[in-house]
Chains A and B, each alone.
Chain A
């Protein structure tokens, strides 16, 4: 049973446009959410996180939105750049982030020049 779901295996956008990656979760105990980015032949690297006490967190071109009632979060990248092409994993944790991370299957983002 997938507790963290990324229903879009892939996404393609034009350089300069907005990329929106979506993630849904089922476990209501999750209260801390993270996005990781992964390039080929490398390990995932942390990108941005959000606590359930917030509904938005911003870091430069990256913004994560959390809708607790819908159990949904999204990552916005504006403007998208070719270097953003990677696999993006959504992850969730409970107890303020101290518990183990549960990952989604990932979404492969391709940003075309």
Chain B
């Protein structure tokens, strides 16, 4: 039981490049989330999903897209990376019956130069 895994762990991009972060969970959770964490700012929700094929915007969705084609996977895409997207990205998942108890992945450190 791996819990929530994220790929890659680290990435450096040049401005304007694109990339996809992959999140996978093996707990059969209905809900999944993408957050970013910047120094002194806690966690900010980017997008979330309450089920396969559904997504919704969070607090800071601009510049990101997401897809949830399979229940266990949640992808975060950056179409044209900007230095302001340098951050640590966390994926999380939860049961629909206890959405407040979110299980987090180890994070992806992204640097955009």
A binds B: no
